[in-house]
Structure 1
Amino acid sequence: MMAGTFEGFGQKAIPFLKALDFHQSREWFQENRDLYERELYEPFGDLVETLSQRFAAAGLGLRGDRKRSLFRINRDVRFAKDKRPYNSHLSAILSPDGSKMEQGVFFVYIGLDRCFAGVAWWQPGPELLQAMRKAIATKPAEFRGLIGKLKKAGLDLDTEGCMKRAPRGFEHVTEADLAQAVRNRHFAVRQTIDPAAIHTPALVDELVDFTVRARPLLDWGRAIQGKVSAG
């Protein structure tokens, strides 16, 4: 085995998150930091770097590493009413440049409440979002082709956070599927991960398979993004 190859999260990964969520104490976390690093943090770094290699081999244009890809387990409570210091999940992003600032990303979330992966154009900036909505309205066959490819791969666009009314300038889009699509604030597909599956190396194959099936969404967004950047 090469160094850093993902072999599965520790059996105590989820129990650790459950205990952390119960205690929500810096003292408790420091006392159990070794457990956190061994069962969760280090395996997550291995997962990100193993996926980065596999995504490169598959030509997916997504990469990451253990230093830049993982989100902190500490919550930012500066402006939050909820002052609990720790999340009950750990998550990471792999992106075109390896940073968390890019669009068209792979996301993985291992949590007490659920485990899932996603491929997303998540809350893209106004210019890119406008261009995506325009592409839906002016090239409906192309967009429906994307939806068809995703459905064939067992995936559906996420409708979470969808606007209740048509955005300004798109009131003329009346066909139900297109009207729904232009109201999206982001374009994403997700796959639920069985919590029992996080403890084996086979999780990598599952996540690579999901991302390959979600590639049409990446390709669609990148084509639009390329025109926005060129313009």
Structure 2
Amino acid sequence: MAGAFKGFGEKAIPFLKALDFHQSREWFQENRDLYESELHGPFCYLVETLSERFATAGLGLRGDRKKSLFRINRDVRFSKDKRPYNRHLSAILSPDGTKMEQGVFYVHIGLERCFAGVAWWQPDPELLQAMRKAIVTKPAAFRAMVTALKKGGLALDPEDCLKRAPRGFEEVGEADLAQAVRNRHFVVRHDIDPATIHTAALVDDLVDFTSRARPLLDWGRAIQGTAK
């Protein structure tokens, strides 16, 4: 595979630590070559390698170095925190290769943690309503998806769920369904051992995770076409 991912440079995380300390455009420009060789360049190859592997696995997710990566520059226009640079680099692979789609793969390499996720993140109101309705009206399909995730060592993340049932779902009585309809997102996550980011084995790890998360992708895709 031409240009296959071979691992992030050994100085990738130290670069992020130094950038976080300096938080200056001058320092970043002086060290841009290090950023490109240790972090950004390998991340581009990671996205392209994953895109090929996801296609081979029939996961319906793709990306490229131009559309998939988020900028390391922070958007500070509406933030009190005016630090110009992120403490991480991240990317999304999606059904159409853009960041605007739903049912996506996300990978994050940063100072606090390295992780990946498969998510229906902040779905629009119509899709979120359709998902909640499907949970209640087709509980067997929802529970089958949850069981399949569990067999793969995964579980839906309850973070950021509503404290109360959303309007129209107040009478849902079964505990697992009542919990599920409170979700704002439908997400599974996978922690990446920072020691593994420097080898090509990271690709196998991420493909394995995404394959185990496929039940969530398939469940959402079956609902997506019904959202109105």
Distance in structure 1 (CA, Å) of the matches to 2:17 and 2:2: 29
**CA-CA distance at 1:112 after TM superposition:** 0.4
**CA-CA distance at 1:3 after TM superposition:** 2.9
Distance in structure 1 (CA, Å) of the matches to 2:77 and 2:2: 38
Structure-2 residue corresponding to 1:148: 147
Q: Deviations over 1:129-186 (max 9, x none)?
A: 0000000011111111110000000001011110000000000112111111000000
Distance in structure 2 (CA, Å) of the matches to 1:168 and 1:142: 22
Which blocks of at least 5 consecutive residues in structure 1 are unaligned? Answer: none
Structure-1 residue corresponding to 2:121: 122
Structure-2 residue corresponding to 1:180: 179
Structure-2 residue corresponding to 1:162: 161
Distance in structure 2 (CA, Å) of the matches to 1:199 and 1:171: 48
The letter for the 2-side match of 1:26 is R
Structure-2 residue corresponding to 1:97: 96
Which blocks of at least 5 consecutive residues in structure 2 are unaligned? Answer: none
TM normalised by structure 2 equals 0.99
The letter for the 2-side match of 1:66 is R
1:171 partnered with 2:173: no
The letter for the 2-side match of 1:103 is Q
- What do you get for the CA RMSD once the two structures are aligned? 0.7
**CA-CA distance at 1:44 after TM superposition:** 0.2
**CA-CA distance at 1:192 after TM superposition:** 0.1
The letter for the 1-side match of 2:49 is T
Distance in structure 2 (CA, Å) of the matches to 1:131 and 1:227: 7
Distance in structure 2 (CA, Å) of the matches to 1:173 and 1:27: 56
Structure 2 matches for 1:22-171, cutoff 5 A?
A: 22-171=21-170
SS at match of 1:93: strand
Distance in structure 2 (CA, Å) of the matches to 1:172 and 1:140: 15
How many residues in Structure 1 have an aligned counterpart in Structure 2? 228
TM normalised by structure 1 equals 0.98
Structure-1 residue corresponding to 2:2: 3
Distance in structure 2 (CA, Å) of the matches to 1:177 and 1:81: 39
Deviates more, 1:172-181 or 1:47-56: 172-181
The letter for the 2-side match of 1:70 is L
**CA-CA distance at 1:53 after TM superposition:** 0.2
Q: Deviations over 1:172-204 (max 9, x none)?
A: 112111111000000010000000000000000
SS at match of 2:197: helix
**CA-CA distance at 1:4 after TM superposition:** 1.8
Structure-2 residue corresponding to 1:196: 195
Q: Percent identity?
A: 82
